[in-house]
Chains A and B, each alone.
Chain A
């Protein structure tokens, strides 16, 4: 049996090679044979060949792709790693993996076992796969120009956090394109460390137990059109420079330390036209320099903005603040930051000269928000007559809230009109 399989492989290899050295060969793996194992096909293929895998389940253990190949699943074949370690380990450049369902990693805290691991291999393309109940799902390290697109990364919702790892995990990569993926029920949905010059677009990161997106030391990256929803702690971005976040949606990230987006030690960041709804804290700014926060919508959050006093030269313009329990809170006096031309639903001023901006400044930091910063349990008193009177008195005669913290030109109408959200 073994011999006949090998003979067929040899024959197929011959067929592939006779078609000429310049044209890549095509191999077909199918549960019905003649070529039944993907491992053998990979072993026999020449660099540049294409391997088509027909529908079926392939228990392969750890499968190493060590030459530039294109693996194409037809009809969603399942590659089962049988809990041996990684499932698909890519160690050669220019490998494409498309249309597979991958499962069966070994949970291990010694090796970061992944459904698809790209290890020191440039130009990998991971496309339209389903990665199910894996420990790490898609893991790339020391690789350039990795493309991860259209994958569905589905973690195990019943796994405890200690047995979960990250959905899409990149470490020391550059020029990556992460687009149109869905990641859910992992630890961090998308995790970057030392990843530069990369684009993250139109992904959905949902129900992850820790962060929907988590990146550190990752410079010059852009994030646009992504959805981060119901993640345990929202989105955390730390220790990075020149970050660009646009048109993302941060929804329902609730909990004591959950943030729509947590900015920690971020320099030169643009946050433009994002939508924050129903988060406990929509945006936490801690030790952040030169952030341009423009045209975002903050609606129905507990705290729209927590701006710590160590944030410097952050500029907030043309944002919409509607229906938040607190528009802003702070731990000190963040005077080196500026607010201009935002829309605040709490603004009670007037516009006599009809130029669209209110004639008296708006002070976003309420007295009750300051009280609440000291005693978080005072939140039960919010929207009471008492706190209403306190805030009103403070607005008329500011004495406790920081002097310079005001929007001198508050908009009378939301900048984009009223979004019905």
Chain B
């Protein structure tokens, strides 16, 4: 596995896209911190950019990369290698490359301009989202033979999580506002990894507003440090579930 990991990582290092992604993030982050006179405000703008862009780039790039590496993957598959190790190495390498991209591109400016808990939380949720969407991307790439279809599906999934799901959630809130649905809102939001990442940031930045809602569930969830831990655990589940599915699909894949 580590050999696959190493060579995939070397290949990714040569890939211009990862470097470009890092530079883009660097540009956006430095630009925002320079434009805004208050670092907190820049951090908040950056959080909106990161929470939308990171999932998009992570999933689409993973999908495209895995399709492009398909011949190499097929070559590996005929070797006496466990298939789980091949995919494990590739996914780990993708995760590593993109995590480094986010760490360098967004992490350095964040920690340079605003070294506090909110920045760290934003960075953490961006990293977790990277891993989640690498896993989702791998799953999509493995389950679809056609590249265009895979990329399209990746875009659809991203759009679903970044916008449509929230709209549905808001509609549910409106439609069922006569019923006691408060306890269901946080678990429902946890079904969307991007919402989870955003809520983690909210818990640091907007705690004062979060405390304003007296629902028992919210108070339990937001009132102490467990909120961030629960969100983090849910994000780990969001990495694990698509990964497991992808491994299962890859094991049975007929090239």
Tell me the A residues contacting B by CB distance below 8 Å.
252, 254-258, 278-281, 300-303, 322-323, 325-326, 345, 371, 374-389, 418
Contact between B41 and A386, CB atoms less than 8 A apart: no
- A387 cross-chain contacts in B, Cβ below 8 A: 166
Contact between A383 and B206, CB atoms less than 8 A apart: yes
B175 smallest CB distance to A (angstroms) = 11
Name the segment of B15-23, B61-69, B80-88, B211-219 touching the other chain. B211-219
Tell me the B residues contacting A by CB distance below 8 Å.
37-38, 40-41, 44, 47-48, 51-52, 162-163, 166-167, 169-170, 173-174, 177, 181-182, 185-186, 189, 195, 198-199, 201-202, 205-215, 218-219
Residue of B nearest to A254 (CB): B211
Which of these, B206, B211, B214, contacts A382 with CB under 8 Å? B206
- B173 cross-chain contacts in A, Cβ below 8 A: 375, 377-378
B81 smallest CB distance to A (angstroms) = 41
Contact between B162 and A385, CB atoms less than 8 A apart: yes
Which of these, A257, A258, A389, A418, contacts B37 with CB under 8 Å? A418
- B213 cross-chain contacts in A, Cβ below 8 A: 256, 376-377, 379
Contact between A380 and B186, CB atoms less than 8 A apart: yes
- A254 cross-chain contacts in B, Cβ below 8 A: 207-208, 211
Contact between B211 and A280, CB atoms less than 8 A apart: yes
Contact between B211 and A302, CB atoms less than 8 A apart: yes
Residue of B nearest to A252 (CB): B208
A256-B213, A322-B38 given as contacts; is B167 within 8 A of A386 (CB)? Answer: yes
Most buried by B among A256, A301, A418: A256
Contact between A379 and B198, CB atoms less than 8 A apart: no
Which of these, A257, A326, A384, A418, contacts B209 with CB under 8 Å? A326
Contact between A303 and B209, CB atoms less than 8 A apart: yes
Residue of A nearest to B221 (CB): A380
Residue of B nearest to A413 (CB): B37
In the bound assembly, the distance between CA atoms of A371 and B201 in angstroms comes to 21
Contact between A386 and B198, CB atoms less than 8 A apart: no
Contact between A380 and B185, CB atoms less than 8 A apart: yes
Contact between B189 and A380, CB atoms less than 8 A apart: yes
B55 smallest CB distance to A (angstroms) = 11
Which of these, B51, B177, B212, contacts A256 with CB under 8 Å? B212
- B212 cross-chain contacts in A, Cβ below 8 A: 255-256, 280-281, 302-303, 376, 379
Residue of B nearest to A374 (CB): B177
- B195 cross-chain contacts in A, Cβ below 8 A: 380, 384
A323-B38, A323-B41 given as contacts; is B209 within 8 A of A379 (CB)? Answer: yes
- A302 cross-chain contacts in B, Cβ below 8 A: 206, 208-212
From DSSP, what is the main secondary structure of chain B's interface residues? helix
B194 smallest CB distance to A (angstroms) = 8
In the bound assembly, the distance between CA atoms of A323 and B207 in angstroms comes to 12
- A385 cross-chain contacts in B, Cβ below 8 A: 48, 51-52, 162-163, 166
Residue of B nearest to A299 (CB): B40
- A255 cross-chain contacts in B, Cβ below 8 A: 211-212
Residue of A nearest to B182 (CB): A377
- A375 cross-chain contacts in B, Cβ below 8 A: 173-174, 177
In the bound assembly, the distance between CA atoms of A382 and B218 in angstroms comes to 14
Contact between B208 and A325, CB atoms less than 8 A apart: yes
Contact between A377 and B218, CB atoms less than 8 A apart: yes
In the bound assembly, the distance between CA atoms of A130 and B181 in angstroms comes to 50
- A381 cross-chain contacts in B, Cβ below 8 A: 166, 169-170, 189
- B215 cross-chain contacts in A, Cβ below 8 A: 376-377
Contact between A388 and B48, CB atoms less than 8 A apart: yes
In the bound assembly, the distance between CA atoms of A83 and B202 in angstroms comes to 48
- B166 cross-chain contacts in A, Cβ below 8 A: 381, 384-387
A-B contacts, 17 of them at CB < 8 A, read A254-B207, A255-B211, A256-B214, A278-B207, A300-B208, A303-B209, A326-B209, A376-B214, A377-B218, A379-B212, A379-B213, A380-B199, A382-B209, A383-B48, A383-B198, A385-B163, A389-B163
Residue of A nearest to B43 (CB): A323
Most buried by A among B44, B189, B201, B212: B212
In the bound assembly, the distance between CA atoms of A375 and B177 in angstroms comes to 7
In the bound assembly, the distance between CA atoms of A2 and B135 in angstroms comes to 90
B52 smallest CB distance to A (angstroms) = 6
A378-B173, A418-B38 given as contacts; is B209 within 8 A of A383 (CB)? Answer: no
A174 smallest CB distance to B (angstroms) = 37
In the bound assembly, the distance between CA atoms of A374 and B162 in angstroms comes to 24
Residue of A nearest to B206 (CB): A325
Contact between B47 and A383, CB atoms less than 8 A apart: yes
In the bound assembly, the distance between CA atoms of A254 and B218 in angstroms comes to 14
In the bound assembly, the distance between CA atoms of A379 and B40 in angstroms comes to 20
In the bound assembly, the distance between CA atoms of A188 and B173 in angstroms comes to 37
Contact between B41 and A345, CB atoms less than 8 A apart: yes
A321 smallest CB distance to B (angstroms) = 11
Contact between A383 and B44, CB atoms less than 8 A apart: yes
In the bound assembly, the distance between CA atoms of A324 and B218 in angstroms comes to 20
Contact between A386 and B170, CB atoms less than 8 A apart: yes
Contact between B209 and A280, CB atoms less than 8 A apart: yes
- Contacts A374-B177, A380-B189, A384-B198 known; list 9 others, CB within 8 Å: A254-B211, A278-B208, A377-B181, A377-B185, A377-B213, A378-B170, A381-B189, A382-B206, A383-B206
Residue of B nearest to A384 (CB): B166
B41 smallest CB distance to A (angstroms) = 6
B176 smallest CB distance to A (angstroms) = 10
A417 smallest CB distance to B (angstroms) = 9
Contact between A279 and B208, CB atoms less than 8 A apart: yes
In the bound assembly, the distance between CA atoms of A278 and B212 in angstroms comes to 12
In the bound assembly, the distance between CA atoms of A258 and B181 in angstroms comes to 24
Interchain residue pairs A-B with the least CB separation, the first 10: A302-B209, A256-B214, A325-B209, A302-B208, A386-B166, A280-B212, A325-B206, A254-B211, A376-B213, A377-B185
In the bound assembly, the distance between CA atoms of A300 and B189 in angstroms comes to 24
